[in-house]
Structure 1
Amino acid sequence: MIVINNPSEIKNFINKPLTPSEWYHVTQEKINKFADATSDHQWIHVDEERAEQEMPDGKTIAHGYYMVSLLPKLAAQNAQIQNTSKTLNYGSDKVRFILTWLK
């Protein structure tokens, strides 16, 4: 894990690789809960029967934004910022979904 002693050191880690996080098991139940929370019930995410017939591998796929929403959880396993009262997510640039995440 990278330990950053104060926020001013963050710039030293830009474009530096992180170690992989622990595996995170994505289930259909988790995908369905995300669909409920975001009102995104597109069939490719939630309709297992239709996906079995129409998707190339016969399975639903997780929402791209579900994957993005996991970043804080997974990143916390790789880096810790110390000596700060709070941290805020400022956003992301150039986020693209170039591969699907199959359950």
Structure 2
Amino acid sequence: EAGIDTHHASAFGVVGQVLAIDEELAVLAYGQQSLAGLISACQRLMALGQRQAAQLAWQLKPVILEAAQRSQDGDIDGEAAYGCTTLLDMAGMQHPGLPTRLFIS
């Protein structure tokens, strides 16, 4: 409402802090929620059924756990540094205001 763009990761962290949710649990919840959103988008964009989506989410669970651990360890060197996707994040924030979008919902 105030016209301030905030990335959902930051908002997720603030809400977790306000609700006194353990940092590790908040990081894992964010990872799981992000993965679920991506898999949902894949289901709408391609032929990916419920069973395949559930299998994919289960198979990627170790990746979420590793990413969460690396983030808490402060590993921002090397391969972990690819997580900065500023232009992609900015485009995502502009997406709702575009006249033509992939997902109208």
Shorter-chain TM-score bucket reads 0.3 to 0.5
By relative contact order (CA 8 Å, sep 6+), the higher-ranking structure is 1
TM score, norm. by length of structure 2: 0.32
Bigger fraction of residues in strand: 1
The structure with the largest alpha-carbon Rg is 1
